[in-house]
Amino acid sequence: MRVESAGFVANMRFAIENVGEVSALFIRPPKARFLLVLAHGAGAGMSHPFMETVASELAAVGVATFRYQFPYMEQRHRVPDPPKVLMEAVRAAVQKAREAAPELPLLAGGKSMGGRMTSLAAAEEPLDGVRGLVFFGFPLHPPNKLGTKRADHLAQVDVPMLFFQGTRDKLADLNLLRPILEELGSKATLYVVDTADHSFHVLKRSGKADTEVMRELVQVLASWAQTIR
């Protein structure tokens, strides 16, 4: 445990039933208002620069984060665990985050696959104490293989959802995603980033730097979280 400019920082470990222990990193800024349980994407773990940047920018707007590893990443395997194991990891992470800061309102979600596994877990059974879900690039379909089956479960999620998507995201054709979210009504909020790809890199013609985009996203997240308290 240590205290930095971001506030309180703790390296943690927690157990996933029938699987083993994984690592986590809890960052709590001064005067934190919310806690986001944040899962990584398929190809990189919780220490990926994207995850580091999101956590840092969230701390700047008063949102604590609980980042964690999925078991396959903890074991340095390249292939993700089966969905059942990934969803168990989500549930265990939410429980550990609640124990770390029981007084903070909880959000959950993640980057790409991490976000989708969080929503799958929430659709199967509500995540204890979680008030809303956040997706940094929902992976609606594989690259260049259009489809919508990956979103079928969203109708079973019973909390508000915030989707950050780029117009150049090859894993989520907005022409397919928009109608799905419109059907969900007020439960789903879509925030589109012009020229951003799946990692939220933007083109020069956008007039923005990647760092500006990340600050924009976390500010939107913090404002949205206030509406679901």
Tens of pLDDT, residues 177-192: 999 999 999 999 999 9
Amino acid letter for position 223: S
Average pLDDT, the chain: 95
pLDDT of 27: 96
pLDDT over 60 at 6, yes or no = no
- CATH number, domain containing residue 168: 3.40.50.1820
pLDDT of 148: 97
pLDDT over 90 at 2, yes or no = no
pLDDT of 144: 85
Query: Any alpha helices (H) in 75-141, and if so which ranges?
Result: 83-100, 113-124
CA–CA distances in Å: residue 187 to residues 10, 123, 135, 160: 33, 13, 14, 5
Q: If residue 22 lies in a helix (H) or strand (E), which one and from where to where?
A: strand 20-28
pLDDT over 70 at 5, yes or no = no
Position 3 confidence tier, pLDDT thresholds 50, 70, 90: very low
Query: Which pLDDT tens digit goes with each residue over 100-112?
Result: 999 999 999 999 9
Mean pLDDT along residues 23-46: 96
pLDDT of 155: 97
Query: Minimal CA–CA distance to 9: which of 23, 31, 30, 25?
Result: 25
Number of domains in the chain: 1
Query: Minimal CA–CA distance to 222: which of 6, 33, 31, 30?
Result: 33
pLDDT of 7: 74
Instruction: Provide the residue range defining the domain that includes 14.
Output: 2-227
Mean pLDDT along residues 49-57: 95
Please answer whether residues 65 and 47 qualify as being in contact, where contact means their C-beta atoms are separated by less than 8 angstroms. no
